Amino acid sequence: MSEEFITGLITGVIATSIGFGFTMLWDLWKINREQNQKTDSVLLAVEHELQENIEIGKANKELLEAELPVLKKGNYLIIATLPFKKEIWGLLKLNLPNKLLKNEAMLRKLSSITMTISHLNEGMNSRQVYRDTSSNNTAFSDNMKGRNSMLISEIEELLENIDMAITELNKKANKSVKQTD
């Protein structure tokens, strides 16, 4: 074998190795970028749903509070409460970002929020059924006041928990943005 052949072979092997290395680095960078975009999208969707539930909670609380004085007069409002959104947990089960996977406290908080939302939705449905079927009951106003008061306090607690969760999510998002800058 000639010296030129060996030099060409070594040069070819080195060039191929360098090209392979750059290709692998490029692929790893793309995968990491896509994973970060996916994580950011999931966290944004979670935050968006939490924000929507804040608005729904405020509207429901206002409605329930507005009905309390009306109930004292033996009447009730026609408007029904709005159900809270609870798709967060389904989204997270399908696509749990590492940022949340490593934060058990946040996962517990989101799970608790989802359970509270389910409970509130059931309570509001029960209230609606009672309102629709029991208006002739002599204790109707007192029962409705009790149901409304209970739902108001649960909504207030839910809104506080959602605010804390959003604050925590934003801290995580800001921390990851600073790390990538």
Q: Residue 81's pLDDT is what?
A: 92
User: Who's near 162: CB < 8 A, 6+ residues apart?
Assistant: 50, 53, 54, 57, 113
Report residue 152 as tokens: 């108001």
In a domain, 79, yes or no: yes
Q: Residue 175's pLDDT is what?
A: 56
Report residue 163 as tokens: 């605010």
In a domain, 26, yes or no: no
Q: Residue 164's pLDDT is what?
A: 93
Dihedral sign for Cα atoms in the order 10, 15, 19, 21:
positive
In a domain, 25, yes or no: no
Low-confidence ranges of the chain (pLDDT < 50): 177-181
- CB 110, CB 92: distance < 8 Å: yes
In a domain, 6, yes or no: no
Report residue 1 as tokens: 């074998």
In a domain, 167, yes or no: yes
Quote the pTM value: 0.77
Domain of 64? 39-180
Q: Residue 43's pLDDT is what?
A: 87
Q: Residue 172's pLDDT is what?
A: 62
In a domain, 54, yes or no: yes
Counting the structural domains of the chain, the total is 1
- The single residue listed with the structure tokens 């609606």 is 128
Q: Residue 116's pLDDT is what?
A: 95
pLDDT in tens, 2-24: 888 889 989 999 999 999 999 99
Q: Is 107 helix (H, G, I), strand (E, B) or coil?
A: helix
In a domain, 114, yes or no: yes
